[in-house]
Amino acid sequence: MALKHQTPMLDQLESGPWPSFVTGLKRLAESEDKPYADMMQDLLGQLEYSYTTRKGFWKGGTVGVRGYGAGIIPRFSEVASKFPESSEFHTLRVQPPAGMHYDTDTLRKMCDIWEEHGSGLIAFHGQSGDIMFQGSTTEGTQAAFDALNEIGFDLGGAGAGVRTSMSCVGGARCEQSCYNEQKAHRMIINSTLDDMHRPSLPYKFKFKFSGCANDCVNASHRSDFAVLGTWRDDMKVDQEAFKQYVAERGRKEINDQVINMCPTRALSMNDDDTLDVDNKSCVRCMHCINVLTKALSPGDDKGVTILLGGKRTLKIGDLMGSVIVPFKKLDTEEDFEELVELAESCIEFFAENALEHERIGEMVERIGLINFLDGVGLEVDPNMVTHPRTSSYVRTDDWDEEVAKWEARKGAVAAE
């Protein structure tokens, strides 16, 4: 049995007002009837040692499961002679179900599997979008994977490939949902799964799906390919409910919190306390709908906007996604298949044209948006301009021809 280590520095972390991860680790270490108790005891020892020496003692390595080139994050201890029981503490990244729904039976099974083969420590969910099963030996990694696979789960992404995807709870519970996020998520990931399990891209590539511009999974900031729900007809207004809000909260509050906060000044309150919406100016930001949920809701002609290139700082600073498809219907099987095809074209173009360790947003900056659009076969659209309302420059050469093309395109859409 591993020695119980003295952990004065860790103990101090438990004294604050919030629940501490140290308490959780100690509980696992003290579960002496469990196979992982010794491992967690030595893990606590190593963590205290790290705090004392102000150094980290974990290094990477190569651990995998059969048939997969990614999904396990190896951690080997550099002080295994002092803390032998936690000499290996690998993490399994496991893809959550689309929309992150579980039933309690599944959660219990996951806990049982991880109590048998791992450390008992699970994080729902990491910032990568995965369920993180943290802490197993090389042997335990394969056994845990086999058991998780048996109940229908698969490893997530790591390294230079397609990464684990996330979709908001959306249509399952949320009234703002503008498309079937779970279906789009599953279809795209099923078609790109090979690039997740056997990473061979220039760098990571993430898909994320939010049902509306509230963007609960932060798709526009954090994914290379973001699919956001929106609508193109008029927002729905229940004038009686709006009047009720005004009566309950007062005109000042509704003016201050809603009308004057609209980013495009598309709202105005009438003398009889009803609401005027200038739908042509509304950019579907969701603000007014979020505040006055009972009175306002998205329109009926729903679909998605697709953005490309969101990422954190790397070669260039943080980028939010740029619109590459201003509006797309996502109702029929055919619509979904077109979405998958676009996703595949983007991955293909990325694989062929990006430099090593370059995200697709950086690649587009380097080669120019026009060349990218050309490469994946998307038509340029004025709605792709980053700041349409603040740009005072327009090209007027070939104006008439461009107008004719635009009118023809609009005619074609209207005829659909």
Residues 170-189 close enough to bind ligand SF4 by CB under 6 A: 170, 174, 176-177
Closest distance of CB 337 from ligand HEM, Å:
31
Q: Are strands 236-237 and 275-277 parallel, antiparallel or unpaired?
A: unpaired
Residues 376-405 close enough to bind ligand SF4 by CB under 6 A: none
How many whole angstroms separate alpha carbon 102 and alpha carbon 100?
7
C-beta neighbour count of 328 within 10 angstroms: 16
166 binds, among ligand SF4, ligand HEM, none (CB under 5 to 8 A by kind): none
Residues 182-221 close enough to bind ligand SF4 by CB under 6 A: 210-212, 214-216
How many whole angstroms separate alpha carbon 105 and alpha carbon 92?
20
How many whole angstroms separate alpha carbon 411 and alpha carbon 242?
36
Of 170 and 321, which CB lies nearer to ligand SF4 in the complex structure?
Answer: 170
Closest distance of CB 47 from ligand HEM, Å:
6
| H or E stretch covering 73 | strand 72-73
Closest distance of CB 212 from ligand SF4, Å:
3
Distance, C-alpha 170 to centroid of its chain:
13
212 binds, among ligand SF4, ligand HEM, none (CB under 5 to 8 A by kind): ligand SF4
Binding of ligand HEM at residue 113 (CB under 6 A)? no
How many whole angstroms separate alpha carbon 118 and alpha carbon 35?
8
How many whole angstroms separate alpha carbon 379 and alpha carbon 67?
40
How many whole angstroms separate alpha carbon 195 and alpha carbon 188?
11
CA distances in angstroms from 328 to 20, 91, 301, listed in the order given: 46, 38, 10
The interface mask with ligand SF4, positions 268-307, x = CB under 6 A, is: ---------x----xxxxxxxx------------------
Q: In what order do the strands lie in the sheet with 302-308?
A: 166-167, 207-210, 225-231, 302-308, 322-328
93 binds, among ligand HEM, ligand SF4, none (CB under 5 to 8 A by kind): ligand HEM
Of 8 and 411, which CB lies nearer to ligand HEM in the complex structure?
Answer: 8
Of 12 and 270, which CB lies nearer to ligand HEM in the complex structure?
Answer: 12
DSSP 225-237: EEEEEEESSPPEE
Task: Say whether the peptide bond before residue 125 is cis (omega within 30 degrees of 0).
Answer: yes
> Which tokens sit at 233?
């007809």
Closest distance of CB 126 from ligand HEM, Å:
3
Residues 61-100 close enough to bind ligand HEM by CB under 6 A: 73, 75, 89, 91, 93
Binding of ligand SF4 at residue 259 (CB under 6 A)? no
Among 266, 306, 325, 339, binds ligand SF4 (CB under 6 A): 266
132 binds, among ligand SF4, ligand HEM, none (CB under 5 to 8 A by kind): ligand HEM
Query: Which residues are near ligand SF4 by CB under 6 A?
Result: 168-170, 174, 176-177, 210-212, 214-216, 262-264, 266-267, 277, 282-289
